[in-house]
Structures are given as C-alpha cells and as structure tokens.
Amino acid sequence: MNLFSTEAIEDIREKQAEWEENELASALQSRPEEKPVYETECGIPLKRIYTAADVAGIPASDLGFPGAFPFTRGAYPTMYRGRPWTIRQVAGFGNPEATNQRYKYMIQTGQTGLSTDFDLPTLLGLDSDDPMAFGEVGRVGVAIDTVDDVDRLFDGIDLENISVSLTINPSAWVIYAMFVAVAEKRGYDLHKLTGTLQADPLKEYVAQKEWIYPVRPAVRLLRDLIMHSAKTTPKLNPISLSGYHLSDVGGNALQEIAFIMAFTIAYCEEVIAAGMDIDDFAPRLSFFFISHQDFFEQICKFRAARRVYAKIMSEQFHARKPESMRLRVHVQTAAMSLTKVEHHNNLMRTAIQALGAVLGGCQSMHTNGLDEAFAIPTEEAMKLAIRTQQIIRDEINVTSVIDPLGGSYFVERLTRDMENEIWKVLDEVKERGGAIKLVEEGWFQQKLADSAYATFKKIDSGEKVSVGVNRYVDETSGSAEVHIHPYDDQCTQLQIDRLNAVRASRDNGLVTQLLAELAAQARSDDINLLPKTIELVKARATLGEICSALREVWGSYAEPMIV
C-alpha cells in the first residue's frame, strides 16, 4: 500500500512546477546557487527539496515498525526507551595488566561494555618473541601470548555480567578458545557469556590487511567458530561484520554496506553448506559500521542497511526467526575525519557523527578520542569521548522517539536510493562469481583503492573541505604540544619472560602431540577445529605455536598487486 493518493501527488507536482517557475526561478536569477551539482559523499544526486512525490512509490511495508521486518525504523520495538545504546570504548595497550587497569577506570567513568584492541603480533598469530614482532609488542593493543594473558586481561572483571568485545581477526579462533578456557576455569556459566568477536576475515583481505592464511582456510576458521559458538556460547556474537574498515580504507557509504552484505552472504553460504540452519546462527551475526561526515547520508545508510539485511535473510536464505533478520550494529565515529591540525576540532566532529549514529539507531558506540588521529587516546581524551555520548543520551532528548527522522521526504528517499544502489552492487558481485572469488582476485581492493585516491584528490582540489587543513587554514595554530600516551618499554621483555616461563613449565610433549593433531584435523575440511584448539590453549600452547601449525598446512596469503 502506498502512503499517498495519486491525486495528492499530482497536486504536489503541479504546485512544485509553479513554484519552480515563479519563486525559484527569480531567486536563481538574482543569485545562483553556490555549486552546480549537489550530491552525497557517495555520489547520490541531491535535489534542492524533497516532497511527498519523491516517496510516493515507496510502499508503507518497506518502512514497517521498529523491531519488525524489514527493521528500517529500528532493530528493537522500544529502542532507546527500553535500553540505551552501550557506551563501548575500545582500549588495549601494553601488557594485559595495563589494559585491565584502563578497563577499571572506564567502568568507573560510566562505560557499560568492554572492548579490547590487540597488538599486531597477536592479531597476526605471532608470539611476542617472534622476530617479525620486533617493535610491535603491546603497541596498538594489548599483547596476548597464552591463556594466562587473557586471565590477566579480565582480572577482577565479572564476565557473566559485562559484555566484552574482542577486536581480533585472523587469530580470532585462538583468542576465543582462550576466553572460553578462562571462563571455564573461573566456573562461569558459558551460556551467560555475552560479547562479540570481530572475526571478519574477508574484510581483512580487502581493508584492514591483517592476514595469516589464504582466503578460503580463513573463511573455514570463521565457519568453525560460528558453529562452535552457537552451541557452546550462544549469547556471544562470533562475528562483527565490519563495514567500518571498508570505509577506513577509502570506501564510500555504499561500498561499505554493499561489500559487507556481499561478505555476509558468503559467510552464510559457508555455514549453511556445512549443515547448519540459518536460524541457528544468523541471530548472532552482528555488524560494525562507521558514522562518517555526511550526516544525512550516514543516517540513511543505517536505515538502508537494516532493510537490505532483512530482505537478504528473508528472501535469499529463507530465515524464519525475526532475530535472524535484525541487523544490530556497533558504531565508531570516523577516525579518518580527525585532523592533527587544530585537534580540538575533533571533539565537534565526533559529537556530530555520534549524534548521526544515534539518529540512525545504533546498538553500541565508540566515540573517538580527540587525539585518536595520532596516538592511543589518553585517559583525558577517553573521558571526553564518553562524556560526548552521555550528553547525547541524557541532555538533549533525542532518545524519546524512535527513528525521529522517519517519514522525512528526504530521509526516506535517500534511504531508498541507497538501498537500490546496494542491490546493484550485490547483483554485480553475484554475477562475477561471489565475494570469496572477488576477494581473491582483488576486485574489492581495487574499488576501495580507487575510491581512496578520488577522495584524496577531492581534498587536494578543495572540493572536499577539511576545516583547518584546506579551508580556514590558520598558519599560526600549528600543532600544539599534545600529551601522548606513553609506551611502556618494558612491555616486550615481560611478555618474552612469561613465554619462556610457560614453555619451561608446561608438558611440552602434550603440546607437540596436540599441535600435530590440530594440523591433521585442518587437512580435512569437515572437522571443527575449535575443540582441539581449546585443548591446546589449556595445555598452555602459545598463540604463535597454534597459528604456525596451521600455516604449515595452509601456507601464507600472498596479496595481489593492487595500487
């Protein structure tokens, strides 16, 4: 059913034509508009004004109601009235103890969920004493080598009662195994554990560029993780499909959503092919998007993404449970938009992006620290970031009404335009042989690199404004002395000492035997590798040992040449 009668629309069209002939024409004659063309950041043309005529063709059923198919207006029926979004600031650096201390500070400041960044060696499956880990231990996240490090990371934190997000990718299945082992040791009920692993391999190959194995084995590891987690830790999200990074590497809003949906389809096909019903795992798929600079485009992006996802799950995979069609999203404001020049401006940028995420209906959020453009945020910066969310939540009354921009002619039209463009990309991906094949061929990578270069050129030419950088430049402001989070030089040695102690005290024969068994299992595609991995971490096998055992079987990934 359509929202407007044909007569009403006809009338509007007539009136608009009159207005264009009279008021508009004379205004344009006396003063032309500033730009010849107006469009969103992702290139969707923008009209001067939207009317009911622009939304007349959209069926009411495509809007629906919050918490019901197609979820355009929100993931839950009561949204922020029932439960505000989770303030989830990511943190991680140095030894597990250092991050643990930061967690306790943030909980005290009012944070409601935890989120962990890991250092690069951990992400890439290398122990802290690996030669390639040189200079990187504990640098951009916390260093984890063994199950004991995970225990230290969450020391004094009740994992049954606070949700934990783990930003871990190629080595995610090992970190999950360690997390489960710690929970078991502490006597927790595994069915009560809540939280999210990032574990989105395809976006690694195209965006964040952290990988260990070739593409297909990496997807198999995710499949094993999803299937194991569905049974063992049913309230944990085993994956966070991360459009954020697609944007971070240069993708526009359409690419962010279209590509991540293409990956979603690929993952679902893998798990279904392994014999699991869509409704047994889809409710635990979660998403991670950026909230970027183009305010309305971003709000419409969230709405369009919810609708596209619901339709994919319902129409392509024949999901029956509504939870399988509900897109839940964690949002981070755009680190790319932050500038080192006049870095206090970053507070304003972040606040506006955060407001966009709330109007778009996010479930949890990380607001960037104002110094995030150049370092791990200090405590002061983190506190301001948390305060930003609290001000939006508690001071400005934007949470009382669900989807407050719903029904805006402009917002509904743009949501529809974005949806249409997303379907076009998904059709193309399908035609070209599917997401996994295209990742191997570098198709997504090339699109994103092209988009990144185009954006850079737009800032070069001044077409895209960056305040303080290419407009309103204040040569005197320079770069203020910023207090930078200090790096602990002792961190690496402590991790190495602990590794040596573990290797000296454990049953090395058992570890060797289990590693051989894991490698043997990996040669067959049918065996779930999680149970053996959990055995391994309990036997104090290190992250690096487990990952290299499989590298022997699968080899390493070789990136395609894309510039």
Partner 1 sequence: MTDSSSNSQGDGARARIDVNSPIRVLVAKLGLDGHDRGAKVVARILRDAGMEVVYTGLYKSPNDVVSAAVQEDVDVIGVSLLSGSHLPLFQELGRCLREKKAEHIFVVAGGVIPEHDYAALSDSGVDAIVPQEARSDLIVTTIRNLIAERGRI
Partner 2 sequence: MTAFAPSRPARRAAYVPSAELVPDVLSGSVLAVARMISRAESGYAEASEALAEIYRHTGKAHVVGITGVPGAGKSTLVAALIKAFASDGHKVGVVAVDPSSPFSGGAILGDRVRMSDAAQSCQAFVRSMATRGHLGGLARATLQAVDVLDAAGYSPIIIETVGVGQDEVEVVTAAHTIVVLSAPGLGDDIQAIKAGILEIADIHAVSKCDRSDAPATVAALRGMMTLGPGRPGSDWQTPVLPVSSVSGERVSELKDAICRHWDHLRDSGELHDRERSIGRTRIFGTARQLLQDKFKRDVAELDTHVQAVVSRTMDPSVAACLLLGWDNEVLA
Binder of residue 2, out of partner 2, partner 1, none (CB less than 5 to 8 A by kind): none
68 binds, among partner 1, partner 2, none (CB under 5 to 8 A by kind): none
Residue with tokens 């593409």: 215
Dist. CA 179–CA 464, nearest whole Å = 44
Residue with tokens 């249409």, as numbered in its chain: 420
Q: What torsion do the CA atoms of 442, 448, 454, 455 make, to the nearest 10 degrees?
A: -160
Q: Which is nearer to partner 2, 486 or 560 (CB)?
A: 560
Q: Coil, strand, or helix at residue 161?
A: coil
- Report what 364 binds from partner 1, partner 2, none; CB cut-off 5-8 Å by kind: none
CB 441 → partner 2: shortest distance, Å?
8
3-state helix, strand, coil in the chain (%, to 5): 55, 10, 40
- Residue 531 token pair: 């149970």
Q: Of these, 149, 210, 224, 419, which contacts partner 1 (CB under 8 A)? A: 210
How many whole angstroms separate alpha carbon 245 and alpha carbon 509?
41
Binds partner 1 (CB under 8 A): choice among 54, 149, 224, 248:
248
Q: What span, in angstroms and rounded, lies between the C-alpha atoms of 433 and 255?
A: 18
Query: Do 240 and 200 form a contact (C-beta atoms < 8 A)?
Result: yes
Give the whole-angstrom CA distance, residue 324 versus residue 321.
5
Take residue 324 and report the two structure tokens written for it: 């399988």
Within 298-453, strands assigned E span 329-333, 364-366
Q: What is the dihedral of CA 499, 500, 505, 507, to 10 degrees?
A: 70
Q: How far apart are CA 354 and CA 333, in angstroms?
A: 6
Dist. CA 415–CA 539, nearest whole Å: 52
Residue 496 binds partner 1, judged by CB under 8 A: no
Q: How do beta strands 329-333 and 90-91 pair?
A: unpaired
CB of 561 to partner 2, least distance (A): 4
Name which of 43 and 555 has its Cβ closer to partner 2: 555
**Distance from C-alpha of 130 to C-alpha of 143, rounded to nearest angstrom:** 13
Query: Is residue 462 part of the contact set for partner 2 (CB under 8 A)?
Result: no
Per CB under 8 A, 504 contacts partner 2: no
Q: Which is nearer to partner 2, 314 or 470 (CB)?
A: 470
Least Å from the CB of residue 131 to partner 2: 13
Query: Would you count residue 563 as binding partner 2 (CB under 8 A)?
Result: yes
Q: Can you tell me which of 1, 37, 60, 558 binds partner 2, judged by CB under 8 A?
A: 558
Which residue type occupies 524?
Answer: S
At residue 261, the 3 state secondary structure works out as: helix
Find the shortest distance in angstroms from Cβ 328 to partner 1: 26
562 contacts partner 1 (rule: CB under 8 A): yes
Bridge partners of 375? none
Residues numbered 192 to 221 that lie near partner 2 (CB under 8 A) are 214
**How far apart are CB 377 and partner 1 at their closest, in Å?**
12
Binding mask 502-541 for partner 1 (x = CB under 8 A): ----------------------------------------
Site residue total, partner 2 (CB under 8 A): 8
60 binds partner 2 (CB under 8 A): no
From 30-38, 75-83, 293-301, 552-560, span contacting partner 2 (CB under 8 A) = 552-560
Q: Which of residues 99-128 bind partner 2 (CB under 8 A)?
A: none
Which residues form the interface with partner 1 (CB under 8 A)? 120-121, 123-124, 126, 131-136, 139-140, 204, 208-210, 248-250, 339-341, 373-376, 449, 452-453, 456-457, 459-460, 466, 469-470, 479, 481-482, 484, 487, 559, 561-563
Residues making contact with partner 2 (CB under 8 A): 214, 341, 555, 558-561, 563
